[in-house]
Structure 1
Amino acid sequence: MSTKSKSCQALLLSPKRHRLRMRRLYIAHMIHCAITQKFCHSQRVLVGIAQQRKGMRSLCLDPETPSFSMSRSSASGLSTPRFSYSESGIDQCIEAAEALVLKWNPEASAFAKVTSLFYEDRHEAMHYIKCVNQLQKAMDFLLSDNSSSQKLVLAHKLMQMAMKRLQKEFYQILSMNRAHLDPESMSTRSSRTSIRSSISDFDDDATAAEDDVPNAGDSISEVEQVSSIAMADLRSIAECMISAGYGKECIGVYKVIRKSIIDEGIYRLNVEKVSSSKINKMDWQVLELKTKTWLEAVKISVRTLFTGEKILCDHVFRAFESIRESCFAEISREGAGLLFGFPELVARTKKSPPEKMFRVLDMYTALGDLWPEIESIFSSESTSAIRSQAFESMVRITESVRTFLSKFESTIQKHSSKSPASGGVHSLTTHAMDYLANLADYNNILSEIFADWPPPSWRSMPESVLYSPDSNDLSVPALTARIAWLILVLICKLDGKAKHHKDVSLAYLFLANNLHHVVFKVHTSNLLYVLGEDWLAKHESKLAKFVGNYEKLMWGEVISSLPENPRTVISPAEAKEIFSNFNFKFEQAYRKQRPFIITDMKLREQIKASIHRKVVPTYRQFYDTHRITVGSAREMAAHVVFTPRDIEGYLSDLFFGGITADDVSSSSASSATSSPLRRHS
Structure 2
Amino acid sequence: MEKSPAPEKSSSFARNDCKEIEDVEASPDSPAVDTSPDALQGPASEENEAVEESNAEEPDLTLPQVWDEIDVFLGRNSDSPCDDDESKTDSDPVEIPRAVELLSKNVESMIDKYAMDAGKSKFGHDPEEDSCFFGSVSRLSKLADKIGDLKPSDENANVLCSSSLNRTSSVLQRAMSFLEEELRAILDEDSKTGSDDSDPKSAKARQSSSFNNYGHDSDRCILPDPEPASTEEEFPCFMSETISIMSKIADTMISAGYETECRVLWMIMRRKAFKSELSKGGLDVLSIDDVQRMQWDSLEREISTWIAAVKRCCTILLPGEGALSESVFLGQPEIGQVLFGDLARSVSIRLLDFAEAVVLTNRSAEKLFKFLDMYETLQDLIAAVDGAKRYSDDPRKEEVRAEMVVVKGRIGEAAVSIFCQLESSIKSDSGRVPVPSGAVHPLTRYTMNYLEYACEYKDTLEQVFQQHHERAIVETSDSEPMYNMDSPSAKTSPFSVQLMTVMDLLDANLEMKSKLYKDQSLRYIFLMNNGRYIVQKIKGSSKIHQLMGDTWCRRRSSDLRQYHKNYQRETWYRLLQFLNHEGLQVKGKVSKPVLKERFKCFNSMFDDIHKTQSTWVVNDEQLQSELRVSISAVVTPAYRSFLGRFNQFLDPGRQSEKYIKYQPEDIESLIDELFDGNPTSMGRRRT
* TM score, norm. by length of structure 1: 0.70
The one of 406, 409, 413 equivalent to 2:427 is: 413
**Cα offset for 1:494?**
0.5
Counterpart pick for 2:322 among 278, 295, 310 = 310
Are the equivalent residues in 2 in contact too, given 1:511–1:546 (CA < 8 A)?
A: yes
1:628 to 648, 654, 665: 648
Q: Provide the rounded CA distance (Å) in 2 between the counterparts of 1:539 and 1:561.
A: 34
Q: Distance in 2 between matches of 1:497 and 1:279?
A: 40
Q: Which of 98, 116, 124 is residue 119 of structure 1 equivalent to?
A: 124
Asked if residue 245 in structure 1 is aligned to residue 260 in structure 2, the reply is no
Question: Residues of 1 paired with 2:667 and 2:304: CA distance?
Answer: 58
1:310/1:565 Cα in 2 relative to 1: closer, same or farther (>3 Å)? Answer: farther
Q: Say whether 1:228 aligns with 2:240.
A: yes
- The residue that corresponds to 1:363 in the other structure is 374
Shift of 1:610: 0.7
Structure 2 residues without counterparts, runs of 5 or longer: 1-23, 32-61, 82-93, 195-201, 207-234
Q: Residue by residue, what CA displacement relative to the aligned partner does 1:622-661 show, whole Å, maximum 9, x if unpaired? A: 2112211245656545554433233223312211235225
Counterpart contact for 1:567–1:621, Cα < 8 Å: no
Paired residue for 1:272? 284
Residue 423 of structure 1 deviates from its aligned partner by 1.0
Question: What are the equivalent positions in structure 2 for 1:188-203 lying under 5 Å apart?
Answer: none
| C-alpha distance in 1 between matches for 2:376 and 2:236 | 34
d(CA) in 2 for partners of 1:239, 1:430: 66
Q: Out of 505, 519, 527, which is 1:511 matched to?
A: 527
95, 98, 102: which one pairs with 1:99?
102
SS at match of 2:239: helix
C-alpha spacing 1:242/1:177, structure 2 compared with 1 (3 Å): closer
Q: CA, structure 1 residues 323+176, in 2 after alignment: closer, same or farther (shift >3 Å)?
A: closer
- CA deviations on 1:273-312 (whole Å, 9 max, x unpaired) are 2222222222223222322333333333443333322322
1:554 to 568, 571, 584: 571
- AA paired with 2:539? H
Separation in structure 2 between the aligned mates of residue 652 and residue 268 of structure 1, nearest angstrom: 61
Amino acid at match of 1:372: A
Equivalent runs, 1:32-43 vs 2, <5 Å: none
What is the TM-score when the length of structure 2 is the normalising length? Answer: 0.69
Q: Distance in 1 between matches of 2:240 and 2:521?
A: 81
Q: Deviations over 1:537-562 (max 9, x none)?
A: 44333323322322233222234554
User: 1:302 and 1:462, CA in 2 relative to 1: closer, same or farther beyond 3 A?
Assistant: closer
Question: Gaps (5+ residues) in structure 1?
Answer: 1-68, 189-222, 664-677
Q: Once the 2 structures are TM-superposed, how far is the Cα of residue 161 of structure 1 from its aligned partner?
A: 2.4
2:666 matches 1:646: yes
Q: Deviations over 1:604-632 (max 9, x none)?
A: 11101111011101211221122112456
1:614 partnered with 2:614? no
What is the distance in 2 between the residues matched to 1:274 and 1:550?
59
Q: CA shift at 1:450, angstroms?
A: 1.9
Structure 2 CA distance for partners of 1:145 and 1:475, relative to 1, 3 Å: farther
Tell me how far apart the structure 2 counterparts of residues 343 and 135 of structure 1 sit (CA, whole Å).
51
Contact 2:525–2:567 (CA<8 Å) still a contact in 1?
A: yes
Kindly indicate whether the alpha-carbon contact (under 8 Å) linking 1:398 and 1:449 is maintained by their aligned counterparts in 2.
yes
Paired with 1:225 and 1:580, the residues of 2 have a C-alpha distance of 90
Q: Is the 1:443–1:530 contact (alpha carbons within 8 Å) kept by the matching residues of 2?
A: no
- Between 287-296 and 87-96, report the one with greater CA deviation: 87-96
Describe the superposition over 1:457-481 as per-residue Cα deviations: whole angstroms up to 9, x where unpaired: 9996589xxx752599554444333
Question: Residue 572 of structure 1 is aligned with which of 547, 566, 590?
Answer: 590
Per the alignment, residue 303 of structure 2 pairs with 291
* Distance verdict in 2 for CA 1:629–1:98, change over 3 Å: farther
User: Could you tell me which amino acid in structure 1 is paired with residue 124 of structure 2?
Assistant: Y
Task: Select between 252-261 and 148-157 the one with higher mean Cα deviation.
Answer: 148-157
Give the 5 Å matches for 1:582-597: 582-583=602-603, 586-587=606-607, 589-590=609-610, 593-597=613-617
Aligned mates of 2:148, 2:612 — CA distance in 1: 110
Alpha-carbon distance in 2 for matches of 1:590, 1:164: 100
Question: 1:404 aligns to what?
Answer: 418
Contact 2:282/2:305, CA 8 A, preserved across alignment: yes
Mapped pair 1:500 → 2:516:
yes
Is 1:165–2:168 an aligned residue pair? no
Q: Does structure 1 retain, via aligned residues, the 8 Å contact 2:661–2:685? A: no
**C-alpha deviation, 1:341, in angstroms:** 2.0
Contact 1:271 1:294 in 2 (8 A): yes
With 71-80 and 364-373 compared, the bigger mean Cα shift is at 71-80
Q: Matched residue of 1:105: which SS? A: helix
Say if 1:596 and 1:655, in contact at 8 Å, map to a contact too. Answer: yes
In the alignment, what sits opposite 2:618? 598
Deviations 1:117-140 (A, max 9, x none): 743543344455445555666676
Distance 1:409 1:94 in 2: 89
SS in 2 for 1:402: helix
- Tell me, yes or no, if the aligned pair for 2:615 and 2:677 is still in contact at 8 Å: yes
Partner of 2:558: 541
C-alpha distance in structure 2 between counterparts of 1:571 and 1:102, whole Å: 141
Q: Once the 2 structures are TM-superposed, how far is the Cα of residue 567 of structure 1 from its aligned partner?
A: 14
Q: Is the 8 A contact 1:295 1:366 kept in 2?
A: yes
Deviation at 1:511, TM superposition (A): 0.7
Counterparts in 2 of 1:454-469, with a 5 A limit? 454=470, 468-469=483-484
Q: Name the CA shift for 1:579/1:225 in 2 (closer, same or farther; >3 Å).
A: closer
- Greater CA deviation, 174-183 or 425-434? 174-183
Instruction: Report if the CA contact (8 A) 1:422-1:597 is conserved.
Output: yes
Residue aligned with 1:642, SS = coil
Partners of 1:113 and 1:658 in 2: how far apart?
88
Residue 448 of structure 1 pairs with residue 458 of structure 2: no
1:313-369 per-position Cα deviation (integer Å, ceiling 9, x unaligned): 2332344455334433554555543333222222321263x4322222233333333
SS of residue in 1 equivalent to 2:618? coil
Higher mean alpha-carbon deviation, 109-118 vs 443-452, is at 109-118
Q: Is the 8 A contact 1:425 1:517 kept in 2?
A: yes
Using the TM superposition, name which of 238-247 and 555-564 deviates more. 555-564
Q: C-alpha offsets along residues 378-414 of structure 1, whole Å, 9 cap, x if unaligned?
A: 6633465654554343223212212211222101111
RMSD: 4.4
- Check whether the contact 1:437–1:527 (CA below 8 A) recurs between aligned residues: yes
Alignment of 1:140-159 (within 5 A): 151=161, 154=164, 157-159=167-169
Counterpart-to-counterpart distance in 2, 1:499 and 1:318: 78
Kindly tell me: are residues 478 and 566 of structure 1, through their superposed partners in 2, closer, same or farther at Cα, counting changes over 3 Å?
A: farther
Kindly provide the amino acid, as one letter, of the partner of residue 78 in structure 1.
P
Amino acid at match of 2:335: I
CA–CA distance in 2 between the matches of 1:301 and 1:486?
38
State the distance in 2 between where 1:645 and 1:112 align: 103
Matched, 1:439 2:454: yes
Separation in 2, partners of 1:251, 1:126: 23
Percent identity over paired residues: 24
- What is the CA-CA distance between 1:513 and the residue it aligns to? 0.3
The equivalent residue for 2:271 is 259
Matched residue type, 1:361: L
Q: 1:275 to 1:315 in 2, by over 3 A?
A: same
Offset of 1:495 from its aligned partner? 0.8
Q: Secondary structure at the match of 1:439?
A: helix
- Find the counterpart in structure 2 of residue 426 from structure 1: 441
Q: Which among 376, 383, 401 is matched to residue 372 of structure 1?
A: 383
